[in-house]
Each structure stands twice: as structure tokens, then as C-alpha cells.
């Protein structure tokens, strides 16, 4: 692994620096080209771990995900190579002989398998609609698959006669469960003796084909997730009326008996019910639900339950745990979940379902990601990192933890910033945490430019990292000689339900006080150049940045990424209307004053700060009308403002070239208004 990553680092080092940003040793392209590891899958015996590595493909303007394998904690090697697509979702067969994965190699997304010792991958499905997800049966002889239903003949006929139109929230494709046999190494193979649709072969049965899937569920609902029972007799599945995001609040859980295909509704509450895990003995399932709470579940703690598959009264677990719980597994040793612990940790906990006691699992890195267990629950594969490292894959057995990747080796020669957790009191006395990033040669006697970067959510969280960035050239600014503050304003995750509730009917207002009190705290330390301060954020962070644009003049420049400018226009056009109703606790027609109090546009006449606006063309979460509204208001008041529309994108930017453009646009904007520099976008004309 050391040799492989040294080659990667070497290649990154020799990337051309033509047009590179001033005073920075790491180019934007280098930052965007870092490889990332994830999706660990442990072998049933706990000895091996398959995982994914995602790399940037600049030529195709995309990302390539492939599967790697480490045996016995040794140096991993690349297992798959899907030339024009990705290999994802690695899962071991129950006998440990095969690794299955999803890939589109010319016939839509299908299931492929490859031997644990490598070799050529082979397709084991050939479904016309492709496959959304799959799960091995416990005996390893079948797959339960999730795939979309084909377009109906009626809909085809309507399009043929009347063209393209759609009623709002009535156009979608539902997905259902199917079963398909696992038949590797077919002899003869489908390529050797093909079958024909007409059946006109020299002999009727003289052909070979991959097995076709058999339907398990059907009806006016869509399946969202599913799990085999450990004994292989049942499948628990979540379902909702349609795949629209608003329908997640109406999701329920049912059980299908595989042999008879009988479906039994198990959990049905007024709010959304979300399937998590089976008990090891196949007698219970674990699920999360807000039960009958449909007016505050966006910001309150989730509720965890266990229930017998025969029904009865569910039992709530870990009710007093004051944070959201992300379930990882249920083994004979207990239920494992991860949870944020303020800005300092994301920890793994073990819950005893019998006693309802829980405790943190010791000996792990500070920030734990995905966790997977072996068949007996005694071995573990997981992703995790420390505050100063990148995400790595680990294999744990008998208390011994082996790091099988070295993704951090990519940045070992980089001039990365120093991260520090700081705390201050907001205007109302609430303690706020934030991450302060400083140059390695930081001198508290000097004055530094300050950039404030606000996370989205609002239930997101910022934690220490060697590579803050996203849409913003943070590591380059820090190396240039600046400070970066990333505040965990009220509403952020990791601080408990009460903290997440503090911005109810207070959006923007309380958030601004949290941000500006943090700025004032740093100014009092004596090392901020108050004439060189900027602020930026995306999504909810974009909203808070827009609120700062129209409610304070202390920043020299602001960048609003996919941000809300007017809660009224947002409410009527977003795809998640309950978000606004829950946080403002009213519709605009019921309480227009609270919508005005919390909207950036209300004080547009007070705006004085040059503002860059960045937005995706097809954003449904925060519709682009919010960007145009803010732009027009600023322009009408002769405030320097510019809107950049990233064509073809929704709420985020998912391609490297456009992400590179977004970073450059911010670098230019803040360069001009904070540093007084005119920066040209580097272009090579041919």
C-alpha cells in the first residue's frame, strides 16, 4: 500500500501549477483529486475487508469508484476495473467465496461477482430495468433485489399522443422487491448458447441464460429499504406511497414470508417509520420512528424501538440518550450505533437491548464512520479518522486494530492548517463551539484576515479536519496567511435536542448572533484584521450568509451558496415544505411576521456588502428563485453582486470541473474585496 500511495502522491505533486493560486503550495486540482476510501464490507470470518476507493476522472468530468481488497489486514489491492462507470456496494457471500458488487458495464446496473482471490468479474443478473440495490440471502443461493417497475403501457400511450407533461408530485417511478437465483459459472454460458425472444432455436431448450427475477411485492407503494432475517425465512422492508421526498413522513414497515410471499404490516405510525436491523435470532426488528410527532421531528431526537415480528407493543431503547443515533448493526454482543459528541468526537456505542444500558466503545479513532461486523460479531471493519488525518479503513479483531489503508499519505507533504476547537458565549449566553483553523506559523501577535464558513443543515456539524474546503479555497487562504472560523451555530447536531431547538422561530436572528459573537471573541484575542473579513456558506449556511448580507456591514465580502433569501417564496416552491412549518411553527398565511423577521430580503435596503451568489440551475431543495430575488434586491440598491448559475445541477455540485469553477469564483470574489486583488480565471486557449 505504501508504494501505491507514494506513486499517487508523486503524480499529484507533478501536476502543472499553471495559473495556480498565489502563495499556495497545493492547487485546487490537487485538492479535488484526493482519493477517498469508504463502504467497508468484512468477510464472514472477519479476516478480510473489501472497500471502495473513489478517484477523480477529470477527462470524463466525474468520479470513478472501484473496489479494493485487504486480506488479513495486509496491503490492499484493486479488485475491480469498470472502465466507463463505477463498481459499488461490495458485499461478501455468506460462505466467504465471493464478493458481489453493482456496476453498469453496458447493460444498466447489474450484480457482478468476483472471487476473493481476484480474477475476472462475471455478471449474475441481466434485468432490463437494472438494479437499485441487492442483499444476499443468508444461505447464499439467492439475492433479494430492488428495481424500478417498467413504464406502463398507458403512460407510453399518453406521451405518444399528448407529448410531455406532468401533474405536480404525480410523476414518479416506484420500486419493488424481487428475488433472483445466484448461479455462477453457468455451463454453457449465455454467450455460448444464447436464447432468443421468439424461441426459434434449433431445439427449444438448447440455450443458456441468466436467471430472471421473480416478483415479491407489488402494489401502489414503493419499497425504500429491506433486510433478510438471519434465518432466511423473512424479509423486512420499508415502504411509502411513492418515492417523493415528502412521502418519507408516511413510511411504514412490513414483513414478507419468503416461502408464501405473505406480507404482514408490522409498524404503522402517523410519522415515518424507518427499518434498521434484525435481531440475531430473527425474532425482532429494530426501527426508528417519531411515532405521532409530525410537527417537530426535524429537530428533536430520533426514537429507537425494538418490536417482535409477531407484533405487540414496541419497546423504546436509549430514550435518555440526547442525540440522534445512527444504527450500525445488531449482533449477539448488542446494538451498535454512532453519534456526534459535540465537535470533538463521533463515537461508536454499544447498547444492551436487555438492560437498555449503553457505553462508548473504547480504543477507536475520534471520528468513526461506517462499521460492519463479521458473522459471529467478534470482528469489525470500519472507517474512521483522527482530527489531523483523512478517512481510513480499519480491521479489528480481539482488541487489535489494523489500519489497512494510508489515504492520509496523500497529504503528508502538504502545508495543512492547524485545527483548534474554541468556545464562546452568544448574545443570549448560549455556549457555542467552533473550529478555528490557523496557519502552522501562526503568531498571536500578528493580525490575520478572517473567513467565516457556515455549514448547512441546520443539523450539520463542523469538526476538526486537516482539509476544510468544499466549495471554498480554505487551505489556500490559510496558507496565504488567514484564519478560518467554522461555527457550530444553534441548531447544529452533536449538542443535544435542546440546542437543536434554539433556532425555532429564530432562524437567521439567533444564528447571526452566534456567528458574530464568535467573530467578536476572536477580535478580542487581538489577532484579527477587522478590515479583511469575509463570510460564506452553502444551503442553510448560504441562508445565514444572506441574512448577514442584509443585517450587518462588518464583512468586506460575502458568498451565498444555494441559500434562502425569502422564507415565503422558499416555502411555496421547495420540495420539503414541513421544514419551514416546523422551524417557523406556522405557514406564511398564519404568521407573516415571523417569515418577514427571519428572511434576508426584509432588510435588503440595509445591505452594503458585495455579495457573490452561487446556485444550481435545477435546485429543488432551495429553488433558484431565491437567488434571483436576492440578486435583484442587491442590484436595485447598487450593491456589487454577481450570480453564478451552475448548469444542470441541483442543490449541490457533483462534478469536479464545476466544483473547480465554484472554488475559483470564490477565490476571485474574496480576492478582490478582501485582499484587493484582481484575479483572472486561468484559461488555456487552443
Query: For 50-67, what is each residue's pLDDT tens digit?
Result: 999 999 999 999 999 999
What is the predicted pLDDT for the residue at 102?
97
Q: pLDDT class for 5, splitting at 50, 70, 90? A: very low
pLDDT tens-digit profile of 246-297?
899 999 999 999 999 999 999 999 999 999 999 999 999 999 999 999 889 8
CA dist., res. 260 & res. 370, Å (int): 35
Average pLDDT over every residue of 394-398: 93
- Position 203 pLDDT exceeds 50: yes
pLDDT tens-digit profile of 621-670?
999 999 999 999 999 999 999 999 999 999 999 999 999 999 999 999 99
Range list of H helices, 482-555: 497-500, 509-525, 540-551
CA 5 to chain centre: 26
Q: pLDDT class for 15, splitting at 50, 70, 90? A: very low
CA dist., res. 560 & res. 552, Å (int): 14
Complete DSSP assignment for 207-219 = ---PPPPEE---S
Pairing of strands 418-425, 284-289: unpaired
CA dist., res. 133 & res. 176, Å (int): 11
- Position 426 pLDDT exceeds 90: yes
CA dist., res. 480 & res. 482, Å (int): 6
Q: pLDDT class for 198, splitting at 50, 70, 90? A: low
Give the lowest-confidence range in 10-24, 256-270, 340-354, 514-528.
10-24
Alpha-carbon Rg of the chain, whole angstroms? 27
Comparing CA positions, the residue from 655, 635, 651 lying closest to residue 643 is 635
DSSP class of residue 343 equals: B
- Position 528 pLDDT exceeds 60: yes
Q: pLDDT class for 199, splitting at 50, 70, 90? A: low
Q: pLDDT class for 220, splitting at 50, 70, 90? A: very high
Average pLDDT over every residue of 603-626: 97
- Position 236 pLDDT exceeds 80: yes
Comparing CA positions, the residue from 566, 573, 574 lying closest to residue 549 is 566
- Position 8 pLDDT exceeds 50: no
199 or 478, higher pLDDT: 478
pLDDT tens-digit profile of 108-157?
999 999 998 888 999 999 999 999 999 999 999 999 999 999 887 777 88
CA dist., res. 168 & res. 472, Å (int): 35
What is the predicted pLDDT for the residue at 161?
87
Reply yes or no: is the peptide bond before residue 14 cis, omega within 30 of 0: no
Comparing CA positions, the residue from 674, 600, 609, 619 lying closest to residue 642 is 609
For residue 537 the three cell numbers come to 456558506
What is the predicted pLDDT for the residue at 205?
60
Average pLDDT over every residue of 428-448: 96
Angle, helices 540-551/509-525, rounded to nearest 10 degrees: 70
Task: Match 453498469 to its residue by C-alpha cell.
Answer: 104
What is the predicted pLDDT for the residue at 201?
54
- Position 19 pLDDT exceeds 50: no
Q: pLDDT class for 202, splitting at 50, 70, 90? A: low
pLDDT tens-digit profile of 557-576?
999 999 999 999 999 999 99
Give a three-class secondary structure readout of 615-643.
Answer: EECCCCCCCCHHHHHHHHHHHHCCCCEEE
What is the predicted pLDDT for the residue at 10?
37
What is the predicted pLDDT for the residue at 138?
98
What is the predicted pLDDT for the residue at 648?
96
Q: How many CB atoms lie within 10 A of CB 354?
A: 7
Number of helices (H) and strands (E) in the chain: give both, helices first: 12, 36
pLDDT tens-digit profile of 477-523?
999 999 999 999 999 999 999 999 999 999 999 999 999 999 999 99
With H, G, I as helix, E, B as strand and everything else as coil, classify residue 616.
Answer: strand
- Position 20 pLDDT exceeds 60: no
DSSP class of residue 340 equals: E
CA dist., res. 192 & res. 196, Å (int): 13
Q: pLDDT class for 189, splitting at 50, 70, 90? A: confident
Comparing CA positions, the residue from 116, 22, 23 lying closest to residue 69 is 116
Amino acid at each position: 500500500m505504501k508504494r501505491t500511495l507514494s506513486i499517487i502522491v508523486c503524480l499529484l505533486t507533478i501536476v502543472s501549477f499553471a495559473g495556480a493560486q498565489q502563495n499556495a503550495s497545493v492547487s485546487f486540482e490537487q485538492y479535488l483529486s484526493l482519493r477517498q476510501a469508504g463502504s467497508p464490507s468484512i468477510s464472514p470470518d472477519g479476516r478480510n475487508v473489501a472497500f471502495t476507493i473513489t478517484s477523480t476522472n477529470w477527462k470524463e468530468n466525474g468520479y470513478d469508484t472501484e473496489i479494493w481488497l485487504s486480506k488479513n489486514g495486509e496491503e490492499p489491492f484493486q479488485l475491480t476495473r469498470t472502465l466507463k462507470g463505477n463498481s459499488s456496494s461490495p458485499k461478501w457471500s455468506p460462505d466467504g467465496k465471493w464478493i458481489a458488487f453493482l456496476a453498469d458495464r453496458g447493460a444498466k446496473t447489474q450484480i457482478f461477482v468476483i472471487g476473493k482471490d481476484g480474477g475476472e468479474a462475471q455478471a449474475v443478473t441481466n434485468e432490463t430495468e437494472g438494479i437499485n440495490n441487492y442483499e444476499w440471502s443468508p444461505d447464499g443461493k439467492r439475492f433479494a433485489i430492488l428495481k424500478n417497475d417498467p413504464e406502463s403501457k398507458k403512460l407510453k400511450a399518453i406521451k405518444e399522443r399528448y407529448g410531455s407533461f406532468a401533474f405536480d408530485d404525480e410523476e414518479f417511478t416506484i420500486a419493488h422487491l424481487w428475488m433472483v437465483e445466484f448461479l455462477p459459472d453457468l455451463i454453457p454460458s449465455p454467450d455460448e448458447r444464447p436464447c432468443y425472444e421468439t424461441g426459434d432455436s434449433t431445439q427449444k431448450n438448447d440455450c443458456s441464460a441468466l436467471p430472471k427475477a421473480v416478483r415479491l411485492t407489488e402494489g401502489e407503494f414503493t419499497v425504500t429499504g429491506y433486510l433478510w432475517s438471519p434465518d432466511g425465512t423473512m424479509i423486512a422492508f420499508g415502504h411509502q406511497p411513492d418515492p417523493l421526498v415528502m412521502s418519507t413522513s408516511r413510511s411504514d414497515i412490513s414483513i414478507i414470508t419468503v416461502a408464501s410471499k405473505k406480507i404482514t404490516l408490522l409498524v404503522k405510525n402517523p410519522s415515518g417509520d424507518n427499518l434498521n436491523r434484525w435481531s440475531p435470532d430473527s425474532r425482532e426488528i429494530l426501527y426508528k420512528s417519531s411515532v405521532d410527532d409530525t410537527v417537530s421531528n426535524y429537530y428533536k431526537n430520533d426514537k429507537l424501538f425494538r418490536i417482535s415480528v409477531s407484533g405487540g407493543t414496541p419497546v423504546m431503547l436509549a430514550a435518555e440518550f440526547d442525540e440522534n443515533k445512527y444504527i450500525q448493526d445488531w449482533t449477539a454482543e448488542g446494538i451498535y450505533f454512532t453519534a456526534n459528541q459535540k465537535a470533538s468526537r463521533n463515537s461508536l456505542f454499544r447498547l444492551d437491548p436487555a438492560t437498555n444500558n449503553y457505553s462508548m466503545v473504547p480504543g477507536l479513532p475520534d471520528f468513526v464512520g461506517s462499521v460492519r461486523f463479521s458473522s459471529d460479531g467478534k470482528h469489525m471493519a470500519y472507517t474512521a479518522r483522527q482530527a489531523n488525518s483523512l478517512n481510513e479503513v480499519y480491521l479489528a479483531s480481539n482488541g487489535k486494530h489494523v489500519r489497512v489503508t494510508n489515504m492520509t499519505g496523500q497529504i503528508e507533504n502538504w502545508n495543512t492548517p492547524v485545527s483548534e476547537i474554541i468556545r464562546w458565549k452568544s448574545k443570549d449566553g448560549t455556549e457555542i463551539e467552533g473550529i478555528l483553523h490557523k496557519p502552522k506559523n501562526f503568531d498571536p501577535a500578528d493580525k490575520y484576515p478572517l473567513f467565516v464558513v457556515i455549514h448547512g443543515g441546520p443539523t450539520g456539524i463542523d469538526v476538526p479536519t486537516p482539509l476544510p474546503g468544499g466549495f471554498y479555497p480554505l487551505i489556500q487562504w490559510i496558507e496565504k496567511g488567514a484564519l478560518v472560523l467554522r461555527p457550530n451555530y444553534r441548531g447544529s447536531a452533536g449538542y443535544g435536542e435542546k440546542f437543536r431547538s434554539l433556532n425555532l422561530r429564530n432562524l437567521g436572528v439567533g444564528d447571526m448572533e452566534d456567528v458574530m459573537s464568535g467573530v467578536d471573541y476572536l477580535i478580542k484575542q487581538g489577532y484579527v484584521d477587522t478590515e479583511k473579513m469575509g463570510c460564506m456558506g452553502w444551503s442553510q449556511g448560504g441562508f445565514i450568509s444572506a441574512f448577514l448580507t442584509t443585517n450587518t456591514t462588518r464583512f468586506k465580502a460575502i458568498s451565498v451558496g444555494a441559500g434562502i433569501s425569502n422564507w415565503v417564496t422558499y416555502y411555496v416552491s421547495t420540495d420539503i415544505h414541513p421544514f419551514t412549518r416546523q422551524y417557523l411553527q406556522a405557514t406564511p398565511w398564519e404568521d407573516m411576521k415571523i417569515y418577514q423577521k427571519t428572511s434576508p430580503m426584509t432588510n435588503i435596503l440595509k445591505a452594503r456588502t458585495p455579495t457573490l451568489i452561487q446556485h444550481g440551475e435545477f435546485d429543488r431543495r432551495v429553488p433558484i428563485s431565491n437567488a434571483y430575488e436576492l440578486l435583484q434586491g442587491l442590484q436595485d440598491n447598487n450593491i456589487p453582486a454577481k450570480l453564478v448559475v451552475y448548469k444542470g445541477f441541483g442543490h449541490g455540485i457533483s462534478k469536479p470541473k464545476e466544483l473547480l469553477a465554484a472554488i475559483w469564483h470564490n477565490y476571485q470574489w474574496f480576492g478582490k474585496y478582501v485582499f484587493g486583488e484582481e484575479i483572472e480565471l486561468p484559461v488555456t486557449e487552443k
